Amino acid sequence: MKAHLAEIFNFTCDRDPKHWWSSDGIRPDIGQMLLCPYCGHKNVVTEIVNHTVTLPSVEVEATEQKLPTVDEMVGILNIEGDR
Ligand SMILES: [Zn+2]
């Protein structure tokens, strides 16, 4: 089985933060106007915030089905802080 990573954009209305919607596969441009589907407010895209983390590819034997342990993931992601 292959797992595919898709790009999804979440938008929040400037008029009411409870108004939010998603769009996959369509990358907005800075300065682009987007109408809120709930109230019709004309929002302008001012910033694209990237919350994704790029994971290194890990080769796993097909018969092994082994997931990395938490300690291995911490090492892979090089996370620092209290543990
Ligand atoms: Zn709205």
This prediction has a pTM of 0.56
How many angstroms does the Cα of residue 2 sit away from the middle of ligand 1? 37
pLDDT exceeds cutoff 80 at 76: no
How many angstroms does the Cα of residue 21 sit away from the middle of ligand 1? 10
Task: List, for residues 24-64, the tens digit of each pLDDT value.
Answer: 778 899 999 999 999 999 999 999 988 777 767 766 666 65
Which band of pLDDT confidence, cut at 50, 70 and 90, is reported for residue 10? very high
Phi, psi (5° rounding) for residue 71?
Answer: -65, -40
Residue with tokens 């890990």: 58
Contact 3, 17 (CB under 8 A): no
Number of neighbours of residue 64 by Cβ within 10 angstroms: 7
How many angstroms does the Cα of residue 7 sit away from the middle of ligand 1? 23
Contact 45, 28 (CB under 8 A): yes
Q: What percent of the chain stands above pLDDT 90?
A: 43
pLDDT exceeds cutoff 90 at 70: no
* CA gap 60, 81 in Å, rounded: 28
* CA gap 38, 18 in Å, rounded: 10
How many angstroms does the Cα of residue 18 sit away from the middle of ligand 1? 8
How many angstroms does the Cα of residue 8 sit away from the middle of ligand 1? 19
* CA gap 21, 39 in Å, rounded: 12
